[in-house]
């Protein structure tokens, strides 16, 4: 029993995910004149060069950077643009540096996980089989040798990453590292040098402005009126290109936000802060404007309120969501549902597939009357490493294909629009216990259950606060106590209710053998004449006289 306890890891309690903190809208800038496009390109190139210079200065400062250095950078940029544009550039640089630091820390953790796994497998004898929880040794001496060399390589990378983390050095590319690498392999990227250059320049432009509360229409640099007119405050070196008063350039195109247009218009009319960004899509040859703002902090729904009307448990897989409706007591209701998606193709196609599948899931949840969705708090950062699964390439691709990042970003924001809470649960043992305890009991003549459907039941029960495993034993095959005492379901407050089932109670004859007690009552006489025996002791004197 002690060994079984060690195998079960601690299960984190479920929690209600925090709702979205911001809103972003996008619309196309149509009917732009050639001069409009030329002005946008010149402004983007000029401010992009300033952003590159500022990022270089921030990266060189490292840990020595402070508020005074930030103010100095902003003063240097203000003379070449304006104070507001300089503030937007320095803030974007600060955010980019912080993101690079977080990515470096995640890279360090990934290297540490890979090194631990390599050391474990190299320490095992060659050919030793692994278990479900830990991989075994390598298959041959050649594979062992190559993995030992890879261990040395990862250890060197880890030393370099730790040194970068200690000194504050980051490796950042304005425009994206992937696009930079495509320059050295244009044939594989299916790009010409001219096409690559257009994308590279467009990604490095800077046409963005932070919102300001109390200012006219919520933004002084990029101003959008409630009727859709867009005007830009020109930087000092490009002030001669302005076609309106106060050094502003008014575009010929007007924007109309079809989605959340009323909410955006209310903010602009009230002069509340709205941030804008203009970017160019090279493949489509179109200009877009994105408006964004921060939402007020909304009180998160309590778990008791979220689970009052039941729960929809959702199991995330590589090609579909498996969902099951549960009442507030944790009992499955109705039949399981599946919402499929296809994650092949471009990034836009994959994102659209996830969005459509979540839309169908949320609509079905509203139809069932539930107010919450239970979903696994998935993070496969350590599970998809090739050091752990080795030759299982298809399995690693399967894990990597599950949209954990996109799902976290999408489901919380989309569920908030439907007033549905998202309860995140620990993913430990949900598939195993769901298949063991819920798949077979829910199979009927008209209902088929898969392992994923059973896992959705397990996830929903854990989100509701109920244990997954059904500890109550089935009816006994006879009335004797030979099968032992029946176990009962552990209460909510019982510690260790998710642990492995303890042995059944001691049987009577086993207890007598250990305690040394003797029989207190003789065996009852048989009711048949042939097998009748007396419980007394026969002696020679008590024998009847023979005739």
Q: Which residues contact 542 (CB under 8 A, 6 or more apart)?
A: none
Do residues 233 and 221 touch, judged by C-beta distance below 8 A? yes
Top pLDDT among 351 and 278 is at 278
Q: Which residues contact 163 (CB under 8 A, 6 or more apart)?
A: 169
Average pLDDT, the chain: 82
Top pLDDT among 389 and 330 is at 330
Where b means 16+ CB within 10 Å and e means fewer, 439-472 reads beebeeeeeebeebbbbbbbbbbbbbbbbbbeee
What is the DSSP code (8-state) at residue 176? -
Query: The tokens of 33 are what?
Result: 């004149």
Distance, in Å, from the CA atom of 414 to the CA atom of 339, rounded to the nearest integer, reads 16
Count Cα atoms within 13 angstroms, Cβ side, for 82.
17
> How do the residues of the chain divide into helix, strand and coil, expressed in percent and rounded to 5?
45, 15, 40
Torsion sign (Cα): 493, 494, 495, 500: negative
Q: What is the pLDDT of residues 48-88, one digit of tens each?
A: 999 999 999 999 998 888 889 899 999 999 988 889 999 99
DSSP 415-470: HHHTT-EEEEE--TTHHHHHHHHTTTTT--SS----HHHHHHHHHHHHHHT--SS-
Q: Is 473's pLDDT higher than 70?
A: no
CA distances (Å), 365 to each of 49, 269, 334, 354, 405, in order?
A: 49, 36, 13, 16, 22
Do residues 411 and 422 touch, judged by C-beta distance below 8 A? yes
pLDDT band at 230 (very low <50, low <70, confident <90, very high): very high
Report the DSSP beta bridge partners of residue 337: 323
Top pLDDT among 267 and 135 is at 267
Under DSSP, is residue 92 helix (H, G, I), strand (E, B) or coil?
helix
The stretches of 124-192 forming alpha helices (DSSP H) are 141-167, 177-182, 186-189
Q: What is the pLDDT of residues 507-532, one digit of tens each?
A: 444 444 544 555 555 555 455 444 44
Distance, in Å, from the CA atom of 405 to the CA atom of 12, rounded to the nearest integer, reads 20
pLDDT band at 544 (very low <50, low <70, confident <90, very high): very low
Q: What pLDDT score was predicted for residue 151?
A: 94
Phi-psi region of 3 (alpha: psi -120 to 50; beta: other; left: phi over 0): alpha
Q: Which residues contact 126 (CB under 8 A, 6 or more apart)?
A: 137, 138, 139, 140, 141, 144
Do residues 231 and 250 touch, judged by C-beta distance below 8 A? yes
pLDDT band at 538 (very low <50, low <70, confident <90, very high): very low
Angle subtended at Cα 93 by Cα 270 and Cα 157, rounded to the nearest 5 degrees: 140
Top pLDDT among 128 and 538 is at 128
Q: What are phi and psi of 28, to 5 degrees?
A: -85, 140
Q: Is 111's pLDDT higher than 70?
A: yes
Q: What are phi and psi of 518, to 5 degrees?
A: -115, 170
What is the DSSP code (8-state) at residue 235? P
Which whole number is the average pLDDT over 281-293? Answer: 93
Distance, in Å, from the CA atom of 230 to the CA atom of 7, rounded to the nearest integer, reads 62
Which whole number is the average pLDDT over 307-319? Answer: 87
Q: Give the number of other Cβ atoms within 10 Å of residue 474's Cβ.
A: 9
When mean pLDDT is compared across 40-54, 236-250, 511-525, the lowest value belongs to 511-525
Query: The tokens of 281 are what?
Result: 């899509």
The burial class, CB within 10 Å (0-12 / 13-18 / 19+), for 7 is exposed
Top pLDDT among 523 and 445 is at 445
**Full set of structural domains in the chain with CATH:** 2-15+301-464 (3.30.420.140), 22-294 (no CATH)
Q: What pLDDT score was predicted for residue 399?
A: 61
Distance, in Å, from the CA atom of 457 to the CA atom of 314, rounded to the nearest integer, reads 8
């Amino acid at each position: 029993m002690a060994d079984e306890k060690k195998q079960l890891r601690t299960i984190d309690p479920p929690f209600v995910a925090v709702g979205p903190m911001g809103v972003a809208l996008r619309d196309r800038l149509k009917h732009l004149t050639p001069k409009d496009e030329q002005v946008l390109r010149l402004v983007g190139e000029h401010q992009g060069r300033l952003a590159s210079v500022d990022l270089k200065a921030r990266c060189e400062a490292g840990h020595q950077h402070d508020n005074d250095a930030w103010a100095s950078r902003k003063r240097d940029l203000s003379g070449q643009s304006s104070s507001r544009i300089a503030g937007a550039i320095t803030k974007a640089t600060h955010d980019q540096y912080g993101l690079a630091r977080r990515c470096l820390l995640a890279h360090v953790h990934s290297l540490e996980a890979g090194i631990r796994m390599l050391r474990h497998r190299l320490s095992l004898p060659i050919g030793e089989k692994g278990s479900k929880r830990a991989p075994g040794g390598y298959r041959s001496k050649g594979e062992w040798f190559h993995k030992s060399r890879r261990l040395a390589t990862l250890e060197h990378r880890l030393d370099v990453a730790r040194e970068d983390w200690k000194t504050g050095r980051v490796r950042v590319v304005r425009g994206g590292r992937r696009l930079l690498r495509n320059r050295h392999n244009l044939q594989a990227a299916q790009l010409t040098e001219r096409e690559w250059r257009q994308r590279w320049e467009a990604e490095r432009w800077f046409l963005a402005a932070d919102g300001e509360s109390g200012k006219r229409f919520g933004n002084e640099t990029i101003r959008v009126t409630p009727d859709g007119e867009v005007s830009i405050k020109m930087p000092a070196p490009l002030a001669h290109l302005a076609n309106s008063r106060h050094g502003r350039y008014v575009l010929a195109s007007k924007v109309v936000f079809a989605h959340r247009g009323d909410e955006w218009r209310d903010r602009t009319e009230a002069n509340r802060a709205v941030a804008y960004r203009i970017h160019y899509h090279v493949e489509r040859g179109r200009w877009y404007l994105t408006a964004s703002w921060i939402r007020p902090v909304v009180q998160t729904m309590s778990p008791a309120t979220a689970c009052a009307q039941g729960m929809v448990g959702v199991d995330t897989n590589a090609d579909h969501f498996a969902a099951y409706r549960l009442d507030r007591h944790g009992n499955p209701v109705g039949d399981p549902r599946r919402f499929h998606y296809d994650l092949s193709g471009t990034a836009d196609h994959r994102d659209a597939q996830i969005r459509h599948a979540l839309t169908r899931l949320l609509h079905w949840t509203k139809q069932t009357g539930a107010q919450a969705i239970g979903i696994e708090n998935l993070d496969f950062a350590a599970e998809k490493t090739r050091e752990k699964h080795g030759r299982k390439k298809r399995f690693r691709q399967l894990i990597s294909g599950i949209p954990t990042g996109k799902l976290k970003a999408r489901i919380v924001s989309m569920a908030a629009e439907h007033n549905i809470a998202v309860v995140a649960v620990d993913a430990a043992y949900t598939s195993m216990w769901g298949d063991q305890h819920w798949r077979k009991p829910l199979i009927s003549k008209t209902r088929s259950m898969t392992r994923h459907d059973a896992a959705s039941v397990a996830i929903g029960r854990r989100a509701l606060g109920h244990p997954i495993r059904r500890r109550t034993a089935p009816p006994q095959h006879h009335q004797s106590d030979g099968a032992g005492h029946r176990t009962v379901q552990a209460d909510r407050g019982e510690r260790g209710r998710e642990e492995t089932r303890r042995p059944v109670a001691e049987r009577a004859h086993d207890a007598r053998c250990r305690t040394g007690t003797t029989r207190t009552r003789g065996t009852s006489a048989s009711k048949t004449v042939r097998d009748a025996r007396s419980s007394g002791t026969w002696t020679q004197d008590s024998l009847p006289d023979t005739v």
